Amino acid sequence: MKQLDTEVLVVGGGTGGTAAALQAARRGARTILVSEFPWLGGMLTSAGVSCPDGNELLAFQSGIWGAYLKELYRRHPTGLDHGWVSFFDYDPRVGAQVFADWVAALPNLLWIAGETPQEVLRQGDRVVGVRFHQVTVTAAITLDGTELGDLLALGEVPHRWGWEWQSEWSEPSAPSAPNEMTQCYPVQAPTWVVVMQDLGPEKESEAIAPPPYYDPAPFAGAWERHGAAAFLSYGGLPNARYMINWPLHGNDYGQGLQRLIGGEADRTAFWQDARWYSQGFAHYIQAHLGRRYGLALDTFPQVPGSVGGGAYALHPYYRESRRLEGVRTVREQDILPIANGWVAALPFQTAAQGCLAVTSECEAIALGNYANDHHYPGYEFALQPKSRRWGGRWTGTPFTIPYSSLVPAAVEGLLVCEKNIAVSHIANGATRLQPVVLGIGQAAGMAAALCIEQGCQPRQLAVRSLQEALLTEPTAPAAVLPFYNLTPNHPDWLTWQRYYLDHPEAYPATGDVPLANLVGQIPSAFSQSYSGILHHNGEQDYEFTPAHPNHDHPATGQLRLVTLCPRVNQQLAQCRDRQLLQVRGRVNLAGRWLLVEAVEG
């Protein structure tokens, strides 16, 4: 068996693992990334979720997440405005190529594909490496970036799986005791994404065969609430393709979820059943909406021995993993907005947590803002709200991830960098989103590289040094504190990030920094000028009637007016009802909105 030694080992080429490996290598650490699949990026690529959620506001587009969006825009000649579940809808093949190109540009980063971990190597309470099928890698710092927290189980690192009850942390949405739903779904249901293609009304696709044990009953009424056209355009992609990741009588699949943490045969059986279930949904769609809709067979690579590939993602889109028992656990209270505010409270670290840090130091290292989103097919699960109206639409209120939730409570030499952080089952519904996990991965990779530089263990790392390294990272500087009105291109961005890290008690409950001038957005190459009448339907609720139909969008009609830019948000709020307005932006016909990038007059 081949033996390799490195400074940083990242196991798992998913969203967090890819970001961690990139950041560790960019910092200068000798890094090895081992992935199961030939694509990097996980949820964003190989799992097919190429319409990501959360961190959509310009102020939150920083770090590797912001750089990824810029590169997607550069590589997509028709832009990213194709669906309505996200502002960023792209071809997963392009996303995978972005990550592959970034990895190839780093001579100190070795990527090994096609391997899964078989054994975690430990010396006492310290992880020292991992054995795979054909190679063993020893490392000073190992990162678990697997989709299901596999290193936690293999290395006997204390971890959680499933629900916690109200008595555990007094989370407002946690059940008081087991019930029918919690027994059916120990974790959130995954989805096996399938990509479909519209050939147009004059052509017919190849028939999609029903899978074994096909039952159409679970899919009945899938698009009843929204209509067939809106159902398809939910996950619209370039070139008339559709990401089928539909929660309403769709392809969320949660039968026998305990198989995911059983043996290899159990997990393989779950995969096959989930893949068949998605095939059944695709068959149902074609049978009811017509043969113009077929499978986009050239989307994913074929992997020998895998049930995915072709039109089907390489693996399920997991919404939950084994979760570390860390130095600190993120609970629902930690992601909810504070009383009379629009941001969650900052996380503070104390010496009592076992880290060599200044008492009451803010330990935020990544941020997210998505609503707390849980998937349990057949059940409604009420959660505490964490959204507000901003920019003409609803957006989630922001929260931060503490560094100590990446650090095991009792094991050295290990960090986690995926959905496997120390987080409650309830709070995982917000921390699991793709941009958040990219941020977690970037922070974990930077932390690992700093541990190499400083000759220390992760629990000994000074969090302030990690925050400073993220803020000043040359390739993709990452925000660690969320502010609605402070965009990464603002000349005072770094100053204000540092100020509130050094004075966390002054962090504004509004989420707004006291800036005299907001920086505008540079209009994208896909934007156009529109003039028309602005209608105020209520606070942060705008409609726009174009004065002249646009030749590129003759069926535009009345549109919702939305923005991701804080300067435009301020300008729209100051406009009068029925005011004549000229703006520059992008029309999204799937969502029937005009995304304003600049107010011109």
Asked whether residue 332 falls in the same domain as residue 385, the answer is: yes
Determine how β-strand 194-198 pairs with β-strand 241-244. Answer: antiparallel
Range of the domain at 541: 528-599
Residue type, position 365, single letter:
I
Would you say residue 141 has pLDDT above 80?
A: yes
| Alpha-carbon distance values, 217 to 180, 239, 275, 286, 291 (Å) | 21, 31, 17, 15, 20
Asked whether residue 446 falls in the same domain as residue 355, the answer is: yes
| Alpha-carbon distance values, 159 to 151, 169, 326, 329, 411 (Å) | 10, 16, 8, 11, 12
Do the domain assignments include residue 44? yes
The pLDDT tens digits of the residues spanning 457-486 come to 999 999 999 999 999 999 999 999 999 999
Asked whether residue 271 falls in the same domain as residue 417, the answer is: no
CATH of the domain at 562: 2.40.50
Do the domain assignments include residue 186? no
Asked whether residue 564 falls in the same domain as residue 468, the answer is: no
Residue with tokens 């609970």: 331
Asked whether residue 34 falls in the same domain as residue 104, the answer is: yes
Do the domain assignments include residue 67? yes
pTM over 0.95: yes
Boundary residue ending a domain (232, 261, 295): 295
Number of independent structural domains in the chain? 3
CB 281 within 8 A of CB 377: no
Would you say residue 421 has pLDDT above 80?
A: yes
CATH of the domain at 105: 3.50.50.60
Lowest mean pLDDT among 8-17, 307-316, 541-550: 541-550
Do the domain assignments include residue 87? yes
**Alpha carbon 82 to its chain's center:** 19
The pLDDT tens digits of the residues spanning 571-581 come to 999 999 999 99
Lowest mean pLDDT among 143-147, 196-200, 357-361, 543-547: 357-361
pLDDT computed for residue 356 by the predictor = 41
Question: Which has the higher per-residue pLDDT, 140 or 548?
Answer: 140
The pLDDT tens digits of the residues spanning 346-391 come to 999 765 444 444 457 999 999 999 999 999 999 999 999 999 999 9
Asked whether residue 356 falls in the same domain as residue 459, the answer is: yes
Determine how β-strand 117-123 pairs with β-strand 126-132. Answer: antiparallel
Boundary residue ending a domain (279, 295, 311): 295
Give the count of alpha carbons within 13 A of 489, CB side only: 12
Do the domain assignments include residue 43? yes
pLDDT computed for residue 553 by the predictor = 47
Of the pLDDT bands very low, low, confident and very high (cuts 50, 70, 90), residue 556 is low
Residue type, position 418, single letter:
E
pLDDT computed for residue 240 by the predictor = 97
